[in-house]
A and B are shown apart, each in its own frame.
Chain A
Amino acid sequence: MSAGLRALLVAVVVVLAAAPFGLPPFAMTLLTEALILGLFAMSLDLMFGYTRLVSFGHAAAYGLGAYACGFMLLHTDMPLLFVVFGAALLTGIVAIGVGWICTLATGVSFSMLTLAFAQLLYAISFKWTSVTGGSDGLAGIPRTAGPFGFDALTSKTGFYYLVLACLVGAFLVCFALVRSPFGAVLRGIRENEAKTIALGYNTRLYKIAVVAVAYALGGLAGALYAPFAGFANTELLFWLLSGQVLIMVIVGGSGTLVGPILGAAFFMLMEHQLSSWTEAWALYFGLIFIAFVLFAPQGIWGVATAWLQRSRNPTRAS
Chain B
Amino acid sequence: MALLELDGVTRRYGALVALDQVAMAVEEGEVRAVIGPNGAGKTTLFNVITGTVKPTAGSIRFAGQPIAGLPSHQICRLGLSRTFQITSLFPEMSARENARLSAQARHGRRWQPFGGAHIFEEASARADAALKQLGLSGIADTPAGLLSHGDQRLLEVAMALAQQPRVLLLDEPTQGLSVEETQQAVETLAGFLKTSGMTVLLVEHDMEVVFRLAHRITVLHRGAVIADGAPDAVQADKAVQEAYLGGFE
Contacts and interface: CB of A to CB of B under 8 A. Distances in A.
A194 to B, nearest CB: 6
B91 A191 contact: yes
A188 B93 CA distance: 9
Interface stretch (A84-92, A151-159, A197-205): A197-205
A191 B97 CA distance: 12
B113 A199 contact: no
Interface stretch (A114-122, A160-168, A176-184): A176-184
Interface string A191-232: 110111111111001100100000000000000000000000
A196 B88 CA distance: 10
Question: Of residues A181, A188, A201, A206, which shows the largest number of chain B Cβ atoms within 10 Å of its Cβ?
Answer: A181
Instruction: Tell me if B's interface is mostly helix, strand, loop or mixed.
Output: loop
Contacts of A205: 111
Given A197-B72, A199-B163, A181 B104 contact: yes
Nearest to B93: A191
A58 interface: no
A198 B73 CA distance: 7
B120 interface: yes
A200 B84 contact: no
A66 B81 CA distance: 47
Given A181-B104, A181-B107, A195-B89, A176 B114 contact: yes
Given A198-B84, A200-B73, A200-B77, A180 B112 contact: yes
Nearest to B159: A199
Contacts of B81: 199-200
Contacts of A201: 73, 105, 110
A202 B97 CA distance: 19
B106 interface: yes
Contact of A198 (B82, B104, B107): B82
A117 to B, nearest CB: 24
B114 A177 contact: yes
B101 A199 contact: yes
Contacts of A184: 97, 100-101, 104, 120
A243 to B, nearest CB: 27
B112 A199 contact: no
A194 B88 contact: yes
Contacts of A181: 104, 107, 109-113, 116, 119-120
A278 B241 CA distance: 81
A143 interface: no
B246 interface: no
B119 A199 contact: no
Question: Of residues B81, B91, B102, which shows the largest number of chain A Cβ atoms within 10 Å of its Cβ?
Answer: B102
Contacts of B90: 187-188, 191-192, 195
A8 to B, nearest CB: 23
Contacts of A197: 72-73
B88 A176 contact: no
A231 to B, nearest CB: 35
Given A191-B90, A191-B92, A200 B114 contact: no
A249 B115 CA distance: 26
A75 B157 CA distance: 61
A202 B115 contact: no
Contact of A180 (B77, B102, B115): B115
B79 to A, nearest CB: 10
B203 interface: no
Nearest to A213: B113
Nearest to A196: B101
B217 interface: no
A201 B77 CA distance: 9
B140 interface: no
B48 interface: no
A64 interface: no
Given A177-B114, A180-B113, A185-B111, A198 B76 contact: yes
A208 to B, nearest CB: 12
Nearest to B156: A195
A286 B163 CA distance: 48
Contacts of B115: 176, 180
A182 B163 contact: no
B181 to A, nearest CB: 22
Contacts of B50: 198
Nearest to A183: B113
A205 B113 CA distance: 13
Interface of B: 50, 71-73, 76-77, 81-82, 84, 88-93, 97, 100-102, 104-107, 109-116, 119-120, 159, 163
17 contacts: A176-B115, A181-B107, A181-B110, A181-B111, A181-B119, A182-B113, A182-B116, A184-B101, A184-B104, A187-B90, A188-B101, A198-B82, A198-B84, A199-B81, A199-B159, A202-B71, A202-B73
* 7 pairs of A and B residues whose beta carbons are closest in the complex: A200-B76, A182-B113, A200-B105, A191-B90, A181-B116, A199-B105, A195-B88
Given A184-B120, A201-B110, 13 more contacts: A180-B116, A181-B104, A181-B116, A184-B100, A184-B101, A185-B110, A185-B111, A192-B88, A199-B81, A199-B101, A199-B159, A201-B73, A202-B73
